Amino acid sequence: MHCDINIKHLEYFIKVAKLGSINKAAQALFISQPYLGKIIHDLEENFGSPLLNRSNQGVTLTPEGEEFMRHATNILREMRHLQSRSEKKEEDFDHLSVSMTKFSHVMESFIDVVLRHQDQPSFTHRLYDGNPDDVIEDVLSGRAQVGIFHFDSKRRREIEENLLSKGLTYRFLAYVEPHIVISKNHPLVLEKKPINLHTLSDYGFIRYLGHYDDLVYSLFGSELRNNENNSSKVLYVSARATLMRLISESDFYSIGIHDFDKQDSAYQAISIPISDCDFMFEFGYVMMEGVSVSAITDEFISEVKKRLD
């Protein structure tokens, strides 16, 4: 057995085992079903044995899968215990600890607030990013005080019920229109041609690997689905900076929201609303139920809302 298994992947496996379905687990985790299927396949290769029995009714654990499940559960329990001990050792002062989905608007808000308080005699501030499931888990584990994430606005009730069942409180921030993010030196821009999902179908499309956006793209209609399925130029990345650099140095494009502060100066990129789009991103934040908001956290949340609005 190789020793390169990601802790997050153990959590994904446990979710599949509990729900008895890779598809249901992918929906609950806000990741794509093919991506989750690949993770399970990689775990089985690492372990050296099939971990799941697969059928039309779903999946069940093999004897090896039951053993793997016990070890995975123990490992995650110990990791949470260590994380809790680490948090308790921190000094009791006003610090900012944030987990976020991959939007520069939130990152810039974090930086601005931290810089305003850089003259404090002591501080420990943290910023994590990942998919919505990562954000929720970071808040549940105490790794982050507040989690900022986005989702399809049509799934509001489902999201709220899921968070409530976990003991989390959700607060709405903003509805934001989806945009095409593209270099201002893109051939279509320079030639003043229409810029939409149809005219971009021959250009490279950049997506976050395993991110909730992988599920969201299907909501834009058949035009984007056809582009996604038929295009021979699809790039999967995990880092926000990588995505923006690719846009700035190529004719690739991605899906995001309106411009952030440094988008033009740092990446020479522009955001263009998607015409006739009936989909909206909903942004909100989660905290543990009953936890009071610190002054610096409240300042950060206000800064995020201002940028999203």
Q: Averaged in consecutive runs of 10 residues, what is the pLDDT profile of the chain (309 residues)?
A: 69 90 85 87 88 92 92 82 55 77 93 93 90 88 91 86 88 93 96 91 85 49 45 82 94 93 93 84 91 89 94
Residue ranges of domains in the chain, CATH in brackets: 7-87 (1.10.10.10), 96-175+286-308 (3.40.190.10), 179-279 (3.40.190.10)
- Select from 173, 215, 213, 192 the least CA-distant residue to 272: 192
SS3 302: helix
DSSP string, 190-256: HTT---STTTTTTS-EEEETT-THHHHGGGG-HHHHHHHHH-S-EEEES-HHHHHHHHHTSS-EEEE
Instruction: Give dist(CA 110, CA 27) in Å, integer.
Output: 29
SS3 1: coil
- φ and ψ of 129, to 5 deg: -135, 155
| Helix spans in the chain (H) | 7-19, 22-29, 33-47, 63-88, 104-116, 132-141, 156-165, 187-190, 213-216, 222-230, 240-248, 263-267, 295-308
Separation CA 13–CA 66 (nearest Å): 11
93 phi-psi bin (left φ>0, alpha ψ -120 to 50, beta other): beta
Decide: residue 103, CB within 10 A, 0-12 exposed, 13-18 middle, 19+ buried: buried
Report the distance separating Cα 32 and Cα 152, nearest Å: 14
**Does the pTM of the predicted model rise above 0.75?**
no
Distance (Å, rounded) from C-alpha 140 to C-alpha 216? 24
Q: Which amino acid is at 126?
A: R
CB 237 within 8 A of CB 243: yes
**What pLDDT score does 211 carry?**
56
The arrangement of strands across the sheet holding 269-273 comes to 234-237, 205-208, 253-256, 179-183, 269-273
pLDDT the model gives residue 131: 84
Write the single-letter amino acid at 135: V
